[in-house]
Amino acid sequence: MTDHKVAGREEWLAAREALLAREKEHTRMSDELARQRRELPWVRVEKECRFETDEGIRTLAELFDGRSQLLVYHFMFGPSYEAGCPTCSSSADAVNGVLPHLNARDVSMVYVSRAPLATLRAYQRRMGWSFPWASSADSDFNFDFGVSRTEEQTREWIKPMIEAGVPPVVDHLASACGTDVVGYLSEGPGFSTFVLDDGDIFHVYSTTARGLEFLMGYYPILDRAPKGRNEVDSPQFWLRRHDEYERKTRAQGRD
């Protein structure tokens, strides 16, 4: 027997209409925030970084691939990782299919990580992705945009966490990536946008943490499911790479 409120159709319709008004308000606020993002001041990118790509060594300007706008996802895949972050991987699944639509609007999107290109290529083949993925192993790009730290910086940063006890989800994700907590937290996820204007590159916008949820296509869908995200007791412990869910189910079946 459910302990959730049960109502007749008329009462449900009245409640749904009230919620719809709030949803429309949320949509209008989202439109306003999008406008404000576009109005942020630009910062000229003076430093020239080079990336290793499938097409060879390329500059940031060349990553635009002939378009005027560039979106960069800073994918957590550090030098000590054996596999990409499961959470970053889950969002990459959703993005992989929309690239033609972005390209049609004068937008290029590239994934960037500090792992060697050969490692990224192997993981990309495993995941079945086709988006451009560049290695910034030999540049300061990830450090310049605040998504990577040295091991020394990371050890200092996580001292309070170590003293209080590393959250189980961090241990879980580090293990899933084949590295330790320091190696895992030396990287962070992020999203940065750039514009190419009359030969100059400008940094326009960046976000991280929950600001990246717009890329995680399954979350807005789950937000509309009867039980929502259902993560109260296990935030993101449920997430797997898409080729690991069936494997986990089979393993549970043998228990």
Contacts of 25 (CB under 8 A, 6+ apart): none
In a domain, 223, yes or no: no
Computed on alpha carbons and rounded to an integer, the radius of gyration of the chain in Å comes to 21
Other CB atoms within 10 Å distance of the CB of residue 221 = 10
- As a 3-state breakdown, the chain gives helix, strand, coil percent values, each rounded to 5, of 45, 15, 40
In a domain, 103, yes or no: yes
In a domain, 4, yes or no: no
pTM: 0.91
Residue span of the structural domain in which 187 resides: 43-215
Q: How far apart are CA 59 and CA 182, in angstroms?
A: 30
Query: Cβ(192)–Cβ(40) under 8 Å?
Result: no
In a domain, 95, yes or no: yes
Task: Specify the pLDDT at position 237.
Answer: 85
Consecutive H or E run containing 53: strand 50-53
**Total of domains in the chain:** 1
Listed as ranges, residues in the chain with pLDDT below 70 are: 234, 247-255
- Please give the single-letter amino acid code of residue 54: D
Task: Specify the pLDDT at position 234.
Answer: 67
In a domain, 130, yes or no: yes
CATH number of the domain at 104, please.
3.40.30.10
In a domain, 83, yes or no: yes
